[in-house]
């Protein structure tokens, strides 16, 4: 049969490709899985207990309202209003089957075939894939030396076909946390040009501060340009329950609900119930887990400070570190393959997050215990010595 050429021409999932390489490991060391970012601990007991109760109830598998459980939307809107010192109402929230779906719905509500969307580099690969599979052209915004995108440089990319600007903060894969001032400048640009600013804030809880990630929700007219995307997967350790949310104006949400009705009808009830339980009953647990991730970042920064084996940490934050390898002239995908085959260290190549090869790769340091980060540095040092010597020969 004939296939959709827009989908057929895209690469397969970088995550699947990465894990496929495990079949070729030498088994020299114990595996360090630093690829797909996922909590390594179970959900809070309060969440588990509530999910069990819902599953045993007579209506635990029922559909929910198209926009999501009212009680979840209300409690999440209240949390956002407090966290951002702003104004978010339950009607501004649409619950989705994960943040990936929130992105797809958000983009499809403002852009279509032939339109363009600005992606700050390095991008999250599923964002780029979704645009291309829907015949929406990505326009790539090169960041500065600090990996922070520049609103002035972004404005130079805008034309009559651009419908949105996408920022991820903390960055995936870079870990870079954008300041409220930078985010405000992008929001002002989007509003001035009559386009959307789509903010993916999946890792906002892991910034190491309780200060607002931005001040946009404090503006009564924030909905004119802002669409904010969220995930409960990492925050509550429920990635398999597939629950996220988007926050937008009534105008945008009306279009989103049309799309959601066609692709999912509603996000899974069990995930929404789990998120509600986490938001209402697991506050201390959430804070403790977030503090653990922040501590891992500090440890990761420390072990990488000496550039073990020549591997250079360019940025870190959220769940991720963005690392440059020391082998000039050698493709990053080859280096990443060597790391998993010879050193049992699984990371994702930077080519999954950029249209070209800049010698970088992503490390999901949140995946392992703090002590394992010292072992990671040891393996980098060993790889730098052994692979470097092999290249000289």
**25 contact partners, CB below 8 Å, separation of at least 6:** 31, 340, 341, 344
Asked whether 116 and 139 are in contact (CB, 8 A), the reply is yes
Q: Which residues, given as ranges, of the chain have pLDDT below 70?
A: 389-393
Distance CA 194, CA 225 (A): 7
Cα radius of gyration rounded to whole Å, the chain: 21
Kindly report the pTM of this predicted structure.
Answer: 0.95
Per-residue confidence (pLDDT) for residue 393, from 0 to 100 = 55
Q: What pLDDT was estimated at residue 40?
A: 84
The fold of 45-282 is 3.40.640
Residue 58, pLDDT score:
84
pLDDT for the residue numbered 320: 97
Which pLDDT tens digit goes with each residue over 344-359?
999 999 999 999 999 9
pLDDT at 197: 98
Sequence spans of domains, the chain: 5-41+285-392, 45-282
Q: Which two tokens stand for residue 218?
A: 């404090």
Task: Pull the structure tokens for residue 315.
Answer: 């940025």
Beta-strand runs (E) in the chain? 32-33, 93-96, 116-120, 137-141, 162-168, 196-200, 226-231, 244-247, 312-317, 320-324, 345-346, 348-349, 360-363
Alpha-carbon distance of 166 to 129, in angstroms, equals: 14
For residue 360, what are the contacts with CB-CB under 8 A and spacing of at least 6? 122, 314, 322, 323, 324, 325, 332, 350, 354
C-alpha–C-alpha distance, residues 375 and 360, integer Å: 20
Strands 244-247, 226-231: pairing kind: antiparallel
What local confidence, expressed as pLDDT, does residue 60 receive? Answer: 86
pLDDT at site 391: 64
pLDDT at 392: 55
DSSP H helices in 264-322: 269-281, 283-304
* Domain 5-41+285-392 grouped into CATH 3.30.9.10: no
pLDDT at residue 161 in the model:
98
């Amino acid at each position: 049969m004939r296939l959709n050429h827009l989908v057929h021409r895209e690469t397969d999932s970088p995550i699947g490709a990465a894990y496929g390489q495990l079949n070729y490991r030498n088994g020299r060391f114990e595996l360090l899985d630093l690829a797909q970012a996922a909590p390594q601990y179970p959900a809070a007991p309060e969440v588990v207990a509530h999910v069990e109760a819902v599953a045993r109830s007579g209506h635990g598998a029922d559909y929910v309202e198209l926009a999501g459980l009212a009680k979840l939307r209300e409690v999440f809107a209240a949390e956002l209003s407090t966290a951002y010192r702003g104004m978010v109402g339950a009607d501004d929230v649409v619950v989705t089957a994960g943040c990936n779906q929130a992105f797809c719905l958000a983009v499809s509500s403002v852009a279509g075939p032939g339109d363009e969307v600005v992606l700050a580099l390095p991008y999250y690969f599923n964002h780029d894939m979704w645009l291309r599979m829907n015949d929406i052209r990505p326009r790539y915004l090169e960041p500065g030396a600090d990996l922070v995108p520049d609103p002035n440089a972004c404005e130079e990319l805008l034309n009559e076909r651009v419908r949105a600007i996408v920022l991820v903060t903390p960055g995936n894969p870079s870990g870079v946390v954008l300041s409220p001032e930078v985010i405000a400048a992008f929001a002002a640009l989007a509003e001035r040009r009559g386009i959307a600013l789509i903010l993916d804030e999946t890792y906002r809880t892991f910034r190491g501060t309780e200060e607002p990630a931005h001040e946009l929700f404090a503006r009564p007219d924030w909905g004119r340009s802002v669409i904010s995307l969220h995930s409960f997967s990492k925050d509550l350790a429920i990635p398999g329950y597939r629950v996220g949310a988007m926050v937008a104006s009534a105008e945008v949400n009306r279009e989103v609900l049309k799309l959601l009705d066609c692709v999912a009808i509603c996000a899974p009830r069990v995930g929404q119930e789990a998120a509600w339980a986490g938001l209402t009953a697991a506050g201390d647990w959430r804070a403790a887990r977030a503090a653990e991730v922040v501590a891992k970042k500090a440890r990761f920064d420390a072990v990488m400070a000496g550039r073990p084996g020549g591997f250079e940490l360019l940025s870190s934050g959220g769940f991720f570190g963005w690392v440059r390898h020391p082998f000039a002239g050698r493709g990053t995908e080859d280096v990443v393959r060597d790391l998993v085959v010879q050193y049992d260290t699984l990371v994702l190549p930077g080519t999954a997050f950029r249209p070209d090869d800049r010698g970088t790769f992503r490390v999901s340091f949140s995946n392992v215990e703090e002590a394992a980060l010292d072992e990671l540095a040891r393996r980098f040092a060993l790889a730098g010595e052994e692979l470097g010597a092999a290249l000289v020969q």
